[in-house]
Amino acid sequence: MRIWQKHRLRWLNAGLMAALLVVAWSRWSQANASSEKKQQMPPSATVEGDGADTNEQAPSNDGSSKGDQLIGKAIEALEAAPSIVAQVKHEARFFGQLLVGDGTYQQLNDPEGVMTRLEITVQTDQQVTSLRHISNGKFLHILEQSDLGQTVGRVDLRAIRDADESAPTDSARSPSLVNSIAIGGLPRLLAELQRNFKFRAPQAIMFQNVPVWAVAGEWKAARLQTLFPSVKGIVRANGTVNVDRLPQYVPNRVFVLLGRDGLFPYRIEYHKDTDSSQNRTGTNAAQSTALLTMDLYRVQIGMPIEPRTFFYNPGGHQKVDDRTAQFTKTLR
């Protein structure tokens, strides 16, 4: 198998498995922009004139930026939430095709681990496809329904965690939306983003009439080189990302919109830039393409959820494929 095909499987298995079934991975912007440039804002967002913090700030005593600290506080808030229920909308672009999906997300914190249920329906010109990820913290069941029928896969999350804990700290791990959520819910997703990206100073903005902090993250050079060791020149000598060297399906910046009241992640979006030197528009500005957006809305925290919501019984007639090994490959 060619190197680019191998990496494509790593990112799209977690992506297109969830993008045809729509949750994938993608959206970021400008890893090679200078720190003096004003951060781009996501669609439907406006900067507050007096409250915006648009300049990169010096790291704190522990080496982290204010953006990294804010993501860390958001993780703590999500870990402390007894339960989360939200509506979900995904919009993904893969190789010229736009996929839009709607659904629901439920999370219940349990002493033995986070239990999650993610349901997404995607409609294309050809068919309607639905995806359900049902995790009781021990096993993840993946149900995919289309015009061709239903398939069911099972992942042993205990084996995944054992392999994860035994892996070196600097090992490559793909921060895909769906798989991160399946393993540890929204806290795990933000933790993976924090692990792989350095976040700049937050900006105070209004997003759909909600006051939020907008935090832009750019690849950590060491992480990018670990994920793509065979791609030469992916990081320049000055530490910036060479966007032209990134595979087509890999973003180079992420935006996270955190509610100023509670730090809930209402939007996560990924962008892919073109190098300004390759821009065909005649301008010097890099062009940004939105690869994927995940919106969480109508959020309810702390409402009672029946634990049986997170258990799935396939019955005696449904074939269940063991996807533990396949799932593990999407994380490495």
Q: Is the pLDDT of residue 3 over 50?
A: no
- Residue 285 pLDDT: 56
- Residue 278 pLDDT: 47
- Residue 116 pLDDT: 96
In Å, what is the CA distance from 19 to each residue of 84, 94, 189, 257? 23, 8, 17, 22
Rounded Cα distance, 68 and 215, in Å: 9
**Lowest-confidence range among 31-45, 75-89, 310-324?**
31-45
Domains and CATH numbers, the chain: 3-94+165-303 (2.50.20)
- Residue 216 pLDDT: 94
Chain segment 210-238, per-residue pLDDT in tens? 999 999 999 998 888 888 888 888 888 88
Rounded Cα distance, 182 and 62, in Å: 31
Q: Is the pLDDT of residue 75 over 60?
A: yes
Q: Is the pLDDT of residue 204 over 60?
A: yes
Q: What is the mean pLDDT of the chain?
A: 77
The whole-model pTM stands at 0.78
At 43, is the pLDDT very low, low, confident or very high (cuts 50, 70, 90)? low
Q: Which one has a higher pLDDT value, 11 or 30? A: 11
Query: Can you tell me the mean pLDDT for 247-276?
Result: 88
86-109 burial, b if ≥16 CB within 10 A, otherwise e?
bebbbbbbbeeeebebbbebbbbb
242-256 burial, b if ≥16 CB within 10 A, otherwise e?
bbebbeebbbbbbbb
Q: Is the pLDDT of residue 184 over 60?
A: yes
What's the DSSP call for residue 42?
P
Query: Can you tell me the mean pLDDT for 298-306?
Result: 95
Query: Can you tell me the mean pLDDT for 148-154?
Result: 89
- Residue 46 pLDDT: 60
Query: Can you tell me the mean pLDDT for 301-321?
Result: 91
Cross-strand bridge partners of residue 145: 130, 150
Do residues 94 and 105 make contact, with C-beta atoms less than 8 angstroms apart? no
At 57, is the pLDDT very low, low, confident or very high (cuts 50, 70, 90)? very low
- Residue 123 pLDDT: 77
At 80, is the pLDDT very low, low, confident or very high (cuts 50, 70, 90)? very high
- Residue 277 pLDDT: 45
Rounded Cα distance, 158 and 324, in Å: 10
Q: Which one has a higher pLDDT value, 162 or 62? A: 162
